Structure 1
Amino acid sequence: ALACGYPREAGAVLLIELDGLRDGMDDLAERISALCRQNHALEVRVATDEAERALLWRGRQGTFGSITRLAPNYMSLDGTVPRTRLPEALRLISELARDSGLQVFCVLHAGDGNIHPCFLYDAKDHAQKERVEAASMEVLRICASLGGTVSGEHGIGVEKLPAMSLVFGADDLRAMWHVKLAFDPQGLCNPGKVLPREEGRRGG
């Protein structure tokens, strides 16, 4: 539907962009292409102009818009792991989806280890929705267990409040509360978000 020309048999697509001085860039691109081939890439395609670059990015940019062709709803989080643990994280997320009877695909910023697992579901199916919510929280546990964190770019908000204890101890959270209360003693700023409520605390 996006007509971006990705190989249909590919299980994943890796987009790599280079930035730097023009001198030596072609050599760097060839070295990276060679590494991709050595690691069994089905195809290596190098954009030679802005139009080709835009075509390669079209699939990534249209990812979330195309989800509705697969399912009416999806849940996506943004846990982060060290880059060296990405293969393990993706394997564990795939196993989690399989064991939960769910369909998942991952969109990620590989350069900083930021993973967006997208669990597909139908919101009218309450049992399926509960499985998706449980699986999403388990993804954050996976990220934390691999030395990562529960948010890479989209923050904590409300959904991830229970996950804060996966990466921060009680003393850490207490210190954060002290800072918040110093600036917001009445709990008026974004109440109920970011920090898990402690007994006796006002706002959040």
Structure 2
Amino acid sequence: MAVVIETTLGDITVDLYLDQRPVTCLNFLKLCKMKYYNYNLFHTIRSGFIAQTGDPTGEGSGGQSIFGLLEGPDKRFFSGEKMPKIRHTGAGLLSMVGTGDMMIGSQFFFTLAPDLDSLDGIHCVIGEVTEGHDVLRKLNDVICDEGYRPYRDVRITHTVVLEDPFNDPPWTEGSFKITIPKCRASEGR
């Protein structure tokens, strides 16, 4: 499954690890599909580390999962998949920001360097950049203040979901059901 994330610095295409991270990918895809990330600021960019976005307030402490948007604030975060373990081994990974015990909302980051072991077990890797590595290099070169906030306004302008295997929930309040497709790895067992 692929998503194109259009930014003010250029486009980034990401392939998602749907088989390994179905619920977390569902969250990301539905947020992209409902244009939740449009105009989100890259509020934190640490050269040689990460470029973080996904908070509509632009402050770095906001945002919520698709489940929170549909079911209320008590579902702002959900438990992301911990297995199989996927490590932050290279530049160009897309990872959802975790807040203790892999609790996921809407914020995510791109890794800008390899071997970021300190992020493992806290944040949930859900995909990798397949096109747009030049944009990651541009993100890495953005000049920031001492709090890693860019002086330059760098934003997501639009997200395009190229393929979505999940049913859309009703975009209204109340309960919803999304069917998670069977993982290829578990077929035939």
Q: Do the two structures share a fold, i.e. TM-score over 0.5? A: no
| Bigger strand fraction | 2
TM-score normalized by the length of structure 2: 0.23
Structure having the higher Rg:
1
Higher RCO (CA < 8 A, seq sep 6+)? 2
TM-score for the superposition, normalised by structure 1: 0.22
Q: Which has the higher helix share?
A: 1
